[in-house]
């Protein structure tokens, strides 16, 4: 079934209530590499319930997938349901906005909707943008997650070709500082316990059939590592200073790679990109963290 435009802009998910606790918060932190040195007292609060802190990008997994870009299945009467070919979908961009710091536990409601659909042309794919909003038990907004998917097999549906949000442009000067993170060989096997069980990240045969020599790291894990870089290099491990964190995925990371995160500081705006120097690959582009 094709994408129907503009009907797709009326797609929504039904409100979904979910809860998480300190175990989920700590598992995410371990999944993006914090706590490898149990004597590192600056990282310990992210993986230990005593004085527990929450990494802002944990919002991408704490709702067990509620914030992931994807179709919103509910439609008002009289509107046509669009169906994307998910075998041909690539996660393009991710943004997390925190309207208040994430608590270490709680119960929330997530509601999603499609906010944009852009047609690159027949055979060239489509860009679909979805938004998920969390509210707490008081009805107050906690987080907004915006994600784009590049649907390689769904171009030519007749929607607009222009008007999609422009990626953030990082400064052209040399980075103000750079931070290196060596990922573990089993990083993807650990990170997948946060909820993304796609075998591309765990099964060598599936990875080879997808054209990779071995399972790749989750893009959202690399995204979390870039937030870890901002926490370490800019905020002195204070997550409450971060209002939003956004980035564009540009190339895969393999578990065991060393990721270099380049950062540029301009007031409350922190631009960043991430690369694997050993392969001369830029894996995250157009990154922007906005501080409170």
Q: Taking the C-alpha atoms of 262, 100, 137 and 71 in order, what is their torsion angle to the nearest 10 degrees?
A: -40
Rounded Cα distance between 138 and 236, Å, is 31
Q: What is the token pair recorded at 68?
A: 């992931």
Q: What is the token pair recorded at 101?
A: 């710091």
For residue 166, is the peptide bond before it cis, meaning its omega torsion is within 30 degrees of 0? Answer: no
Secondary structure, 3-state, 107-127: EEEEEEEEEEEEECCCCCCEE
What are residue 26's phi and psi, to 5 degrees? -70, -40
Beta strands 126-135 and 242-249 are unpaired
Catalytic residue among 91, 119, 154, 201: 201
Rounded Cα distance between 111 and 286, Å, is 27
Examine the residue annotation and report whether 196 is marked as an active-site residue of this protein: yes
Secondary structure, 3-state, 160-186: CCCCCCCCCCCCCCCCCEEEEEECCCC
What are residue 113's phi and psi, to 5 degrees? -155, 155
**Residue found by looking up tokens 């990083």 in the block:** 187
Report which of 89, 59, 76 is spatially closest to residue 243, judged by C-alpha positions.
59
Q: What is the token pair recorded at 5?
A: 């435009």
Q: What is the token pair recorded at 246?
A: 């956004």
Catalytic residue among 154, 196, 257, 262: 196
Distances (CA, A) of 228 to 29, 54, 101, 279: 9, 11, 16, 22
Which positions are catalytic?
196, 201
């Amino acid at each position: 079934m094709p994408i129907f435009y503009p009907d797709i802009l009326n797609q929504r998910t039904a409100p979904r209530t979910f809860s998480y606790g300190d175990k989920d918060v700590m598992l995410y932190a371990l999944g993006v590499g914090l706590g490898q040195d149990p004597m590192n007292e600056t990282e310990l609060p992210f993986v230990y319930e005593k004085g527990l802190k929450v990494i802002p990008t944990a919002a991408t997994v704490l709702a067990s997938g509620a914030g992931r870009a994807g179709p919103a299945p509910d439609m008002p009467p009289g509107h046509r349901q669009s169906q994307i070919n998910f075998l041909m979908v690539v996660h393009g961009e991710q943004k997390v906005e925190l309207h208040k710091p994430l608590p270490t536990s709680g119960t929330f409601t997530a509601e999603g909707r499609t906010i944009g659909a852009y047609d690159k042309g027949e055979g060239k794919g489509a860009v679909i943008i979805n938004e998920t909003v969390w509210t707490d038990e008081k009805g107050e907004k906690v987080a907004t997650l915006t994600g784009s998917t590049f649907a390689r097999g769904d171009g030519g549906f007749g929607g607009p070709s222009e008007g999609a949000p422009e990626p953030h442009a990082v400064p052209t000067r040399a980075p103000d500082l750079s931070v290196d993170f060596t990922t573990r060989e089993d990083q993807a096997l650990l990170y997948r316990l946060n909820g993304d069980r796609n075998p591309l990240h765990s099964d060598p045969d599936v990875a080879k059939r997808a054209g990779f020599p071995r399972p790749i790291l989750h893009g959202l894990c690399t995204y979390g590592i870039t937030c870890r870089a901002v926490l370490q290099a800019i905020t002195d491990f204070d997550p409450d200073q971060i209002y939003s964190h956004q980035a564009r995925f540009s190339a895969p990371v393999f578990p065991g790679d060393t990721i270099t995160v380049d950062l540029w500081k301009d007031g409350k705006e922190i631009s960043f990109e991430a690369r694997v120097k050993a392969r001369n690959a830029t894996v995250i582009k157009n990154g922007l963290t906005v501080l409170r």
